[in-house]
Structure 1
Amino acid sequence: MMGYLYTAVGDSLTTGFGTLPGSGFVPVYRRMAETRLRTSIRPVNLGVNGLTTDGLERRLKEDYNYRLAVRDADIITLSIGGNDLIRAAKAAGGRPGDLSPRLQKALRNCKQNFSDIMGTFMQLKAGMPKPYIIRIVGLYNPYPQIDEASDWVRQFNRYAAGYSSRICGFASVYNEFAGNERGLLFIDGIHPNGRGYRVIADKLDSLGYGGLR
């Protein structure tokens, strides 16, 4: 076995924004996976700060290198959806009355895009002979003080967790972050810090490695 290819797809959580190089969940999870699978793992990090489900869906359809990196991957992680929420909340400008319709619309779009993203993964993987795993990083709530945001995140997580299968696993981190934001988030209050990223990596690792081992 010549080792595995790990393609990390997603937003600033995938890039590891808010912590030191090597401390984001991607490098930490990769090291855990190497230990568990007893082989070398080559990472391809396709994370883009600020990426929304919309932007990712477009990249997966149009960007050849993106498509190739997903098609050839043995391990895929996906972190997406947080920016959809953040944009909708910012657009509402903190006027709670405006929040619900905007957030509902954003959630509908987000789910639709997410379903397209997962569909594209499956399409790219169709007919590939070797086993692979997909791991979805669940959302925590970056706005714990806003009830509607908590609802939004919980609904998104329920939807994303619905994709769980023999191949696909959902890493739930909501409960770990809820009430522990000060310990697990970077000073911007939005992104995880090193400890927060480690929580995410631990959750991914605890889902096991499916047919890869």
Structure 2
Amino acid sequence: MYPLHYLALGDSLTVGVGVPTFDQGFVEHYVCLSKQTLKKCIQYKKYARSGATTGDVLNMLNSPIVTEYVKYADVITITAGGNDLLNAAKIFMQTGNEKIISNVLEQSQNNYSSIMKRIHHMDKQKDFIIRLTNLYNPFPNIPMGEEGIKTFNSLIDNFSQYKNVKVADIYSIFKGNEKALLTRGGIHPNSRGYYQMALAFHKLGYFPLAR
């Protein structure tokens, strides 16, 4: 039986920042859940960096190693966008220029669009699925942040129109549960939060890998 190949691209959420070194992040949880459903061995690879923006993830696709893995991947997950908004928020707080938020949202959408096109235009020989995630809000008490995240999430939902692409709604899972699912005083999920992320991906199903 041939193994399935899973490629996880992204930022600190894919790295698994926020949990102790040997604890599982969402990628490892997702692998376990996927094995149970698909009844196959799954080999996975992470290409991720803390602080990575949508532009950084797009640049990862310039690496020959990454593009080779994309070609053979049956499952691809992407986490990106949170750092774009965090960086924009920092500039906004310094300058008060609201245009920076709309500019970053537009650039994030363009980067995601380029990522999707690059992956779909690669010479992939088999069925594959791509799973994206929207953003949760680690600062629910800041109205400007909430507004930016809701706008980003509506933009990311549009990519579910691509073939075999689905978006996990972790915004709704974390909303009102920040204390239970995020590290204390932090912006990253804790172990429970990462499991909930993986579960959200898992519940999107695996069609056409599993019918």
Give me the TM-score of the superposition, normalised by structure 2: 0.93
The AA in structure 1 aligned to 2:206 is Y
Tell me, in whole angstroms, the C-alpha distance in 2 between the residues paired with 1:54 and 1:122. Answer: 18
Count of aligned pairs: 208
> RMSD over aligned Cα, in angstroms?
1.5
Alignment of 1:172 with 2:164, yes or no, is no
Unaligned runs of 5+ in 1: none
Tell me, in whole angstroms, the C-alpha distance in 2 between the residues paired with 1:118 and 1:151. Answer: 25
Instruction: Report what 2:28 is aligned to.
Output: 27
Instruction: Report what 1:128 is aligned to.
Output: 124
Shift of residue 69, structure 1, vs aligned partner: 1.4
The AA in structure 2 aligned to 1:85 is L
Instruction: Report what 1:54 is aligned to.
Output: 55
Shift of residue 119, structure 1, vs aligned partner: 1.1
Shift of residue 189, structure 1, vs aligned partner: 2.2
The AA in structure 2 aligned to 1:139 is L
1:53-72 matched pairs, under 5 angstroms: 53-60=54-61, 62-72=62-72
Alignment of 1:205 with 2:206, yes or no, is no
Instruction: Report what 2:2 is aligned to.
Output: 2
Of residues 20-29 and 168-177 in structure 1, the stretch that sits farther from structure 2 once superposed is 20-29
Tell me, in whole angstroms, the C-alpha distance in 1 between the residues paired with 2:121 and 2:9. Answer: 16
Secondary structure of 1:164 counterpart: helix
Give me the TM-score of the superposition, normalised by structure 1: 0.92
Match of 1:195 among 183, 192, 206: 192
Instruction: Report what 2:102 is aligned to.
Output: 104
Shift of residue 65, structure 1, vs aligned partner: 0.9
Shift of residue 151, structure 1, vs aligned partner: 1.5
Shift of residue 164, structure 1, vs aligned partner: 1.2
The AA in structure 2 aligned to 1:140 is Y
Secondary structure of 1:163 counterpart: helix
Shift of residue 19, structure 1, vs aligned partner: 0.8
Mapped contact 2:4–2:43 kept (Cα < 8 A): yes
Tell me, in whole angstroms, the C-alpha distance in 2 between the residues paired with 1:196 and 1:99. Answer: 33
Secondary structure of 1:134 counterpart: strand
Shift of residue 92, structure 1, vs aligned partner: 2.3
Identity over aligned pairs, percent: 35
